[in-house]
Structure formats: structure tokens, C-alpha cells
Amino acid sequence: MTRMQTLRFLMACALILAGMTTPLAANPIMPGADPHVVALEGKFWLYPTRRKGGENFYAYESSNLKDWKEHGPVLNFSGIEWIKADGRKSHGPWAPCLAVRNGKFYFYFSVGPQTPEHPSRIGVAVADSPTGPFVDSGRALVTGGDGFEAIDPMVFEDPASGLFYLYAGGSAGATLRIYELKEDMMGLAREVPTQTPEKFTEGAFMHHHGGLYHLTYSHGNFRDASYSVHYSTAARPYGPWVYRGVLLQSDERHKGPGHHSIFTDADGVWHIAYHRWNNREGSGPYHGPRVIALDKLTYDNDGLLLPVTMTD
């Protein structure tokens, strides 16, 4: 290859690389599912569903979204008596959420799975630090039943009113419910009337951008390629909802992306954390561990979210 040919080859490579989507991190970042990421004072805190030999939760701390330090367990079911009151031998700890108010850290979590005899429940605990240990409230915050499955809590502070809302529900009932939280964040002030948005299955997440409330959520079966993220918008945090389409869906190498959270970094760049199945073939059902990935979010000129391209 001549010198000129070499230069042309390098220039072509540079153009190709410039047009590629630059991965946010070395995806996947860790095993796990249902990641809730919060940006706090220059650091990122990740709370996933990730069992490590017990019914508990761990926290992961990072300053760069690449290197993660483990803390915990930050909450352990063994010391929470109301969870054991149903008489079951085991309980599924999953889908946690962290909220911050007045210098306190509130940890919301799902207890299940739901059966006809034992409805699923959502609990809440509080701590002085994002690393816990979180002290449970002593009772269930929300209990499922009558076609409603109390799972996948997500807490959102409305920038317009300053009120805190709890979004919950999904799976078998595929029903979304919204509650206004009391000032202590550990009780319900009231249920807020809403309609379940189109294509909703579970895992609701709310954020505000460009004058719109963006409700994103999972659709389909988490064990197969139908699992995906869809979204709707509204002028208020409780609807009525306008369906906007698919945000994340399976591709050739990544299957069943879903149960996500959305956050910004110090530069105001938007990101999405979610779980997926890597290197699976066919439409499922898939088996084995899921993994957590991070990718960037972008908006179009109308302030609507553009579909996410999953990276490695």
C-alpha cells in the first residue's frame, strides 16, 4: 500500500468512526435487572434487582458510569416482619427505586411474586445516606389484589407543583396506578385518577423535559424478544396520555430490553439504564442472567424522544 493509499484508508476509517454511536460505557456494565440510577452531587447511584444469596438489595456507586463500587446490603428482608406475615417461605425482592427529599433518602421496593393467595406488595424504607442502611417503615405502602399487581415502584417529583408521585403496577394486571405521597414520603396522601397508557405492561418511569411529561414503560414478556420500552407523553404528570411509539426494542444481538430508568449527568446529557439479554438467538423464552446496560437519550426538534440504539 502506498503512502497515499494509507492516508486515504485512515481518513475513511476516521469518517466511519465519526458516524458511529459512541458507547457510554463498556456495555454491559454488570449482571442484574431493573436498574434505577440516580445522579447525586457528582456521583451516580445504581440500585438493581440482583440477588447475592439472599433476599436483599445492594447499591453501586460511580463517578464516571464505568467503574462501580458495591455497597451493602443496603436493605435486607430478614429483619422486616410485615414481609413474613403472609407465611410464605420466600419472597422476591425486585425493582427498587430511590427518592430524595429534605436530605433523606427513601428506598421503595417490590415484594412478591403475586399469587391468588398472596398479593404483591410495595414497601418503603429511609436512610441518611444513599448507601443505607435503610430502615423499613414497618408496613406495606401499597398492596395488590383485585386485578392489580403492586410492583415496580417509581417516585417522581413534579417540578411544577413540588408534589411527589408514586407510579406502580403492571405485569398480570397490566394496570398503572398513581399515588400522591405524603410529606413524610412513607404514606399515601391519595390515589390520583389516571388511565393505563397504550402498550403498558410494567416498569413505569416518569421524567419531565421540554414542557412535557414523558412516561416510559415496558411492554411484552420479559423472557422473550417482545419485551421492549414504549412511551407516552402528557401535559400533566398523570395524563391524559398521548402514545408516542417504541423507544427500545430487540435487535440481532440484544433481546428484550426493558425496565429502565432515565437520568442526566453534570453536563445535562440524558441517559437510559436498562436490562437486556445479550447474545440470545430466536424469539425466546430466554434463560440465564440478564445484564444491565447504559445508553444515551436524544430528543427531536419537537422535544420527543428518539429510538435508542443499543451499544456494546
In a domain, 232, yes or no: yes
At 172 the pLDDT is 80
Please, which residues have CB within 8 angstroms of residue 112's CB and are 6 or more apart in sequence?
Answer: 91, 92, 94, 120, 121, 149, 151
In a domain, 5, yes or no: no
State how far the Cα of 122 lies from the Cα of 17, in Å rounded to an integer: 46
At 25 the pLDDT is 58
Range of the domain at 112: 23-296
At 273 the pLDDT is 98
Helix (H, G, I), strand (E, B) or coil at 165: strand
Count of domains observed in the chain: 1
In this structure, what CATH number is given to the domain that contains residue 185? 2.115.10.20
Which sign, positive or negative, has the C-alpha torsion 24, 26, 27, 28? negative
pLDDT in tens, 80-115: 999 998 888 889 899 999 999 999 999 999 998 888
Q: How many CB atoms lie within 10 A of CB 271?
A: 19
In a domain, 113, yes or no: yes
pLDDT in tens, 215-234: 999 999 999 999 999 999 99
In a domain, 168, yes or no: yes
**Can you list the positions of beta strands (E) in 29-103?**
30-31, 33-40, 43-49, 56-62, 69-76, 92-101
At 24 the pLDDT is 53
Helix (H) or strand (E) holding 10: helix 3-19
Closest CA to 154 of 289, 37, 295, 275: 37
Helix (H, G, I), strand (E, B) or coil at 9: helix
At 11 the pLDDT is 41
State how far the Cα of 299 lies from the Cα of 231, in Å rounded to an integer: 13
Closest CA to 205 of 231, 240, 234: 231
Which residue carries 446496560 as its cell? Answer: 293
Which sign, positive or negative, has the C-alpha torsion 163, 186, 230, 305? positive
State how far the Cα of 312 lies from the Cα of 310, in Å rounded to an integer: 7
Which pTM does this prediction carry? Answer: 0.91
Query: Cα–Cα–Cα angle for 105, 110, 114, nearest 5°?
Result: 165
Query: Cα–Cα–Cα angle for 151, 309, 166, nearest 5°?
Result: 25
In a domain, 160, yes or no: yes
Assign residue 285 a region (left: φ > 0; alpha: ψ between -120 and 50; beta: otherwise).
beta
Q: Flag residues of the chain having pLDDT under 70.
A: 1-25
In a domain, 159, yes or no: yes
In a domain, 306, yes or no: no
At 20 the pLDDT is 38
